[in-house]
């Protein structure tokens, strides 16, 4: 009788420990997801705000009076009016310039934590009905897609292909379709969708830290020295920022797709729907940018 009670107590203890572990994992998932979404809101909001400003200044510069005065954009928000001007020289010390970069890094880092927590360290990554591969192989494939996606994108953007918006968009769509098709035949449908979203998010973050910020650092250093900065630096940063706005909407679509498996990754036409979502996201981004 004592042995039986001891066994029951041990079983209850294991069950209690399992529940505690599950509860901690759930709270960790919720907390990181909360942080991830809020950081993404800040990052994407800033990206669209500045690209919208740039578009407005582009229109104003075409209709400028030519009297040498800098065009202004007037806005109203909360309790005041705001007049924004675009400067071609630095009128303050470099230390007074506000940079927007940590939001992108925090979004990506929290997203990677979620990727490891929800997929790489759980059973949601691979599906034996899709492909008979190990968890380790699935993780290797996922990480290779993140790194390879950035390398392919960056090489294409710096090649002659990147000089044509239509050609680059066509190439990007073909690559996304190929990657989506491949992942849907290697990983679980849900993981395949999230991997494509994580790849786009990685490209966006790498754009900020490896292409946009270095150009801005050079611009600030040159302007602080009293010289005129190379206009191509501004053009490169502007192009990568513009491309980020086109990736942001599909990434958000993909983030919420796991709540609708019948319509998205669980559908017979899962990868085709994913490509269609990307195209719809691009169209939505274009409308938002031009509003």
Query: Which run of H or E residues covers position 136?
Result: helix 135-158
| Rounded Cα distance, 247 and 240, in Å | 11
What residues have CB less than 8 Å from 240, skipping those under 6 apart?
157, 207, 208, 211, 212
Q: Which residue stretches of 207-230 are H helix? A: 213-224
| Rounded Cα distance, 260 and 256, in Å | 8
Q: What is the pLDDT along the chain (291 residues), one digit of tens a residue?
A: 555 555 555 555 566 566 777 688 889 999 999 999 999 999 999 998 988 888 888 888 887 766 667 788 999 988 899 999 988 788 888 888 888 889 999 999 999 999 999 999 988 999 999 999 999 999 999 999 999 999 999 999 999 999 999 999 999 999 999 999 999 999 999 999 999 999 999 999 999 999 999 998 988 888 888 887 777 878 888 899 999 999 999 999 998 988 899 999 999 999 999 999 999 999 999 888 876
What residues have CB less than 8 Å from 103, skipping those under 6 apart?
39, 42, 43, 46
- pLDDT, position 146: 98
- The pTM assigned to this predicted structure is 0.89
Determine how many CB atoms are found less than 10 A away from the CB of residue 288. 15
């Amino acid at each position: 009788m004592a042995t039986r009670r001891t066994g029951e107590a041990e079983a209850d203890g294991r069950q209690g420990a399992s529940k505690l572990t599950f509860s901690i994992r759930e709270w960790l998932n919720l907390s990181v997801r909360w942080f991830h979404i809020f950081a993404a809101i800040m990052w994407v909001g800033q990206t669209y705000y500045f690209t919208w400003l740039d578009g407005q200044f582009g229109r104003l510069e075409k209709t400028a009076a030519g009297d040498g005065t800098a065009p202004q954009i007037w806005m109203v928000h909360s309790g005041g009016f705001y007049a924004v001007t675009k400067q071609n020289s630095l009128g303050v010390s470099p230390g007074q310039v506000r940079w927007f970069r940590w939001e992108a890094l925090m979004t990506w880092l929290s997203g990677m934590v979620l990727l490891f927590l929800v997929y790489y360290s759980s059973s949601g990554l691979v599906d034996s009905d899709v492909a008979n591969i190990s968890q380790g192989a699935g993780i290797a494939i996922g990480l290779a897609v993140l790194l390879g996606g950035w390398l392919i994108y960056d090489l294409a953007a710096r090649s002659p292909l990147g000089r044509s918006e239509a050609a680059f968009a066509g190439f990007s769509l073909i690559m996304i379709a190929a990657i989506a098709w491949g992942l849907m035949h290697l990983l679980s449908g849900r993981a395949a969708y999230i991997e494509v979203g994580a790849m786009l998010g990685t490209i966006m973050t790498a754009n900020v830290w490896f292409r946009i910020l270095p150009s801005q650092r050079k611009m600030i250093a040159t302007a602080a020295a009293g010289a005129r900065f190379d206009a191509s630096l501004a053009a490169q940063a502007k192009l990568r920022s513009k491309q980020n706005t086109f990736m942001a909407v599909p990434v958000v679509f993909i983030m919420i797709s796991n709540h609708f498996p019948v319509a998205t990754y669980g559908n017979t036409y899962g990868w085709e729907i994913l490509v269609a979502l990307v195209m719809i996201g691009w169209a939505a981004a274009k409308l938002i940018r031009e509003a």
